[in-house]
Amino acid sequence: MKLTYHGHSVIAVDMADGQKLLFDPFITGNPVTDLKADEVSADWILITHGHDDHIGDMVPIAKRNDATVIGIVEVAAFARNEGVTKTHGMNIGGKFDFPFGRIKMVHAQHSTGYEKDGQMIYLGEPAGFILQAEGKTIYHAGDTSNFGDMALFGDAFDIDVAFLPIGDNFTMGPHEAASAAKRLKAKQVVPIHYNTFPLIEQDPQELVDALPAGVVKVLAVGESIEL
């Protein structure tokens, strides 16, 4: 399994059997990504919540690749209404076994909604995803604050890599992310959702310094972890 950071909250997962997963494909308008929306390959697109910097290029990528969009039921319905033919709706606390592995949808503390034609469309609750595949467990927290129930995730799962937002203002910052990481007990923590825009400029070294040596892996855009 290869995990690649593509800026903001965009994470690509390449499975050993060739299946490709893409989390929160905010590419067009993303000043720090190394991707081009019309060149991205994906079989499965996982959306943590309905803000435009996470839904991003979901629709065109799904249509071009005939990919399945996985998200909370309101996001799945929105994708269908936009012409995406393959969707899988879930809800908080549920899990499902896909061809690539198991996904559990867990709660996040944030807001969600997509502005279209001057109106805000409600797109369900925000969420995180816990992926279990190829003997590994990956947690993508989406956008969230630091909350106590992350301890439940750490107790229930042996998390290999946790992708945690550190941008502050809209999510938790580095110090709160360090607190969350301790409860998650992840073997490795990767900061996401920072330095994309001035409002979320942060120094990831603060997270590095707040946790034991070797726990935090700060990925450059386009850099990967092999598991």
- In order of 1, 22, 30, 64, 166, the CA distances from 57 in angstroms are 24, 11, 10, 11, 23
Domain limits, the chain: 2-226
Q: What is the pLDDT of residue 76?
A: 98
Q: Where are the beta strands (DSSP E) in the chain?
A: 2-5, 11-14, 20-23, 44-46, 68-72, 87-90, 95-98, 101-107, 114-116, 119-121, 127-133, 136-140, 161-165, 188-192, 224-226
Q: Which two tokens stand for residue 194?
A: 């920072």
Fold of 2-226: Metallo-beta-lactamase; Chain A (3.60.15)
Q: What is the pLDDT of residue 144?
A: 98
10-residue mean pLDDT series, the chain (227 residues):
98 98 98 97 98 97 98 98 98 98 98 90 96 98 97 98 98 98 98 98 98 98 97
Q: What is the pLDDT of residue 155?
A: 98
Q: What is the pLDDT of residue 116?
A: 87
